[in-house]
Structure 1
C-alpha cells in the first residue's frame, strides 16, 4: 500500500522564554485577552490575507449628517454617527455581492443568507465584536440605535454571548482613533473585514479644478481562499458609489 501523507500538526506557538527585568510590570493575561489572541492567531495562520483600499468622497454625506444630527439627538436620544451610514452602505452592497458574506469551510464555501454585521467595540483592556443582526433590513436610524446600545452594553460589561454570535462580515470604525489607513485581521471565520478610516478634508481634483472635499479611506482585508481581487474591487466600488450618493435628497434616515 502506498504510504499515507503525513498530517500537518496544528500550529501552536511555543511560549516565549522571556523574563521580567527589574522595574518591569507583569500583567496577567485575562481569559478575554487570551481568546482574542487565539482568534487573531488562528485567522492569520489559516486565512491568506490580501488587502485593498479605495478613497471615497463623502462631502455630501458629511453636510447632510451635520445638518440633521442635533435635531436627531434631541428627538431620538442617541447620536446619529457617520458609522451608521457606513454600516448601511456595506449591508446594501453585501446584498448585491453575497460572495463577501461567506465562510471558508474546508471542502466548501458557505455563502450566508443573513447579513449580520459585526462591529468592533474597544474597552480599556479588550476588544469585543457585537453583531447587528439583519443589518440590510434596518434603517439608518435603527442601525444608529443598535450601535449606541451595543457600545453602551459593551462598556458597561453587560454584553451577552448571543450579542456576539452570528456575525457574517465585520466593519471596524478605526477612524474613531484618527487612523487614516490600516490593515485589519479578519474576524475568523468570516471572509473579510472593512476598516472605515477618519474623514479628513483634502484638496482633490474635481471637474478639472482643485476643491476641498471630505475624503475617507475604506480598507478591506480579505481571505484569499474565498475571495479574489476582482469581486472585492467591485464590492468596494459599489460601497463607494452608495456613500458618494448619500445626501439629503435620496437618503432617508427613517
Structure 2
C-alpha cells in the first residue's frame, strides 16, 4: 500500500509554504530518510524526507504553495521490486548513473541558472554525491565570462577542458533579450515577504532611536594575534571577533539590565538570561539564530555555536527552535564593508548592536596623533523602554571591555 508524503507541521505560526524544489523525479526509487523536497516558509527553509523505501509518484509541482498536512506525493514500496529487471546492461547503467541521477538543483543553483543561462547539468559538482553547489555555479559562470571576454579561436580548444567551460543553451543565455523587457518580475519568497513585513512593523510600532560610539580595536587585534595559535590547538576553532563582541555585550547587558527587557502590553518583562542572536546573511534573506546561555559559555563554545549556525543557515537547515528566544541581537555589516548604519530592532527585543568595518584612522592618544584600527558601533533601541542614558552607557561599557579585554576576566 502506498504511503502518502505530507507536509509536516513546523510550529503553530506556520500554516503554509512554497514547495521550492523536488530533490527527486517522478518515478524514482527512493530510500528511507532520503531528502525528497525543499519547503520555503516565512521563517525557515526545511527538507522533507522519505519515510519508507519505494517508488515515488509526485502529485504537486515545484513552485506550488502548499498547506501543512497536504499530500504532495506517494511512495509505493511494492514498486521497487519491478525496477531492476535487466541485468546485462548493468555496467553501462552504472557508467551513466552519475549523469542521469543527478540530485535536483537547490534554489540558489536554480536562481543562478535562471539569471545566467548556465546549465547546472553541465557543471561538475563538488558537493555530496556530486551535487552542484552555489560555488560550482559561480565558478562556472566566471569561467564562461573569461572565455567569452578573451576569444582565442585557435588555442582555447586544446587547452581548456570542456568540463570547466559549460555550454550555455542558446535559448536560455539571452534571458533579458528573450523577455523583451528591461525588467524581470519574480514572486517574493515567503521568507523575504515576512522580513519585509516585520521591518515595516518595527518601524511603525516602536520608538526606534540609534546612538553611536567608536572603539579602538588594537587590544582585540593584539589579543587574537598573541593567542590565536594556542587557541586553535586547544579548541580546534579560531578566536574570532564575534565571540568577543558577544561576551562584551553580555557584560554590558549585566551592567545595564534595562536593555535586557521587553514590553508586553502594559508590562515590562525583565530577562535574567543571556541568549544572544547573531545575524547571518543567507541567499534567502537575513536569519538570526540564537546562541544560548552566553554568560556561561567559553569563547570557544560561542565560536563553535556561531560556526554551526552559519553552516545550517547556508544549507537551509535552520529550525524554528534555532531562531526562538533571543534577548539581544548583534549584526555585523562590517563583513560587507559597511562603515556606519542604523540596524533595525529584532522584535520583541528592545535593542540591537551593529558592528562595522575596522578602518585605520588617525586618532588622538595622550596628546599624540596616532593611526589606530577603529570601528563604529551602533545601538538601535526602543525609546519606549530604554532611555538615552542607558543606551549611551551600554556602548561605553562595550567600548571599555573591547579596548581592555582583561575587564572581562575580572568583571569590571
Interval of TM-score (by shorter of Structure 1 and Structure 2): 0.7 to 0.9
Which SS does the other structure have where 1:218 is aligned? strand
CA RMSD of aligned residues (A): 1.9
Contact 1:118 1:131 in 2 (8 A): yes
**Alignment check: 8 A CA contact 2:259 2:350 kept:** yes
Does residue 133 in structure 1 map to residue 325 in structure 2?
A: no
Structure 2 gaps, min length 5: 1-178
- Quick check: 2:251–2:408 contact (8 Å CA) kept in 1? no
- What is residue 85 of structure 1 aligned with on the other side? 244
Question: 1:193 pairs with 333, 352, 364, which one?
Answer: 352
Larger radius of gyration: 2
- Paired residue secondary structure (1:88): helix
CA offsets per residue over residues 187-229 of structure 1, 9 Å max, x none? 0111011001112211111000111112111101010111110
Matched, 1:149 2:323: no
Counterpart mapping for 1:170-249 below 5 A: 170-246=329-405
Aligned pairs for 1:91-106 (under 5 A) are 91-106=250-265
Q: Which secondary structure does the structure 2 equivalent of 1:33 belong to? A: helix
Corresponding residue for 2:6?
A: none
| Aligned mates of 1:250, 1:231 — CA distance in 2 | 20
Q: Give TM-score scaled by structure 1 length.
A: 0.86
Which runs of 5 or more residues in structure 1 are unaligned? 1-19
Q: How far apart, in 2, do the equivalents of 1:72 and 1:26 lie?
A: 49
1:242 aligned counterpart, secondary structure: helix
Q: How many residues align?
A: 232
More relative contact order, 1 or 2 (CA 8 Å, 6+ apart)? 1
Work out whether 1:37 is the aligned partner of 2:196: yes
Q: Distance in 1 between matches of 2:257 and 2:180?
A: 51
Distance in 2, matches of 1:52 and 1:122, equals 24
SS at match of 2:389: helix
Query: 1:74 Cα shift?
Result: 4.6
Deviation string, structure 1 residues 60-103 (Cα, Å, up to 9, x no partner): 11111123334433543333211111111001111121111111
Partner of 2:211 in structure 1? 52
Tell me, what secondary structure is at the counterpart of 2:295? helix
